[in-house]
Amino acid sequence: MDDTVAYEAPMRRALELAARGPVTGGNPQVGCVLVDATGAIVAEGWHRGAGTPHAEVDALSKVSDARGLTAVVTLEPCNHTGRTGPCSEALIAAGVTRVVYAATDPGHASGGGAARLRDAGVDVIAGVLAAEVSAFLHIWLTAVGRHRPWVTVKWASTLDGRAAADDGTSQWITGTAARQRVHEQRAASDAILVGTGTVLADDPSLTARGDGGELLPHQPLPVVVGETAVPATAALHRHPAGLLETGTRDIAAVLTALDARGIRRVYVEGGPTLASAVIASGLADEFAVYLAPALLGGTRLAVGDLGITTIAEARRLAITSIEQLGEDLLVMARPTHHAPEGS
């Protein structure tokens, strides 16, 4: 049995541990196990969110002596000082003799841990279960690798694609189960984007709430795209995560600024104008489409002009999941190819 196969079982355990961590907060979900010379796991750790010990340090804290152990970790140990110190240095100081990891850290500042470990004489094995771990970390790896957040565009519509009746009424197109799933998706996002038109027309709160109306533990930062100031009396000023007014319609610039704040997941919930602009710019990575079994007709489409003039230019999507929520459907889809970003 080669070394790669020998470490697959502990790597799968590390991946299970990684899934316990939060998807929000800017940092990746990472798990780590320490194994001895027989391959037995002697300690486990995972990252619990920004500012808390990283998975490697969490695992190291559970043994009195790590000399001679092997660290099996889902992501290449970091090599920079942020809110916590570099994991590469912690592993070296602890006397770990081998580090096995799955996915390479694409971060300009955080990457390079493997090289630092090798320079210190630590044996490093890379790529164990790389495909599985990379699929698990796909959103985070994509966001960090291209220096902008992952963007999910959400809308709710009737089967004929209408987001509202011609008189403007839209509450409620979907039922309670679908609306609750929206709150769950908000809570799994770092920021929620809305246009100034929606703010002025609907005065949304954009909080993530539970079945009983209670605030969920994580709240996305509301980000208003547009040049019009949010009225002082707007509900968004009372949002528990604060409020970011961008003062611009330049969506690409907004996403760049959010990336600089460590925001990796963005949920677009700003109505047809904003949704259409994001899609037309080639900046949508995923779609969350809630479909109600109803027909409205009329002109209030869920998505407006995308600059498409012929069927050959259609934005083709790959459906990743379909879920029934009460009488409604949630269709999750991703582009099969992108238009050039910022087009």
Residue of 8, 16, 56, 76 marked active site: 56
**Alpha-carbon separation of residue 147 from 59, 260, 268 (angstroms):** 30, 8, 18
Q: What are phi and psi of 194, to 5 degrees?
A: -145, 150
Say if CB 299 and CB 166 are below 8 A apart: yes
Residues 6+ apart with CB under 8 A from 22: 29, 48, 49, 218
Which run of H or E residues covers position 320?
strand 317-325
Structure tokens at 185: 């998706």
Count, residues in the chain: 343
What is the rounded CA–CA span in Å between residue 330 and residue 171? 17
Is residue 56 annotated as part of the catalytic site, yes or no? yes
Instruction: Return the percent helix, strand and coil in the chain, to nearest 5.
Output: 30, 25, 50
Task: From 221, 269, 270, 226, select the one nearest 251 (Cα to Cα).
Answer: 226
Annotated catalytic residues are: 56
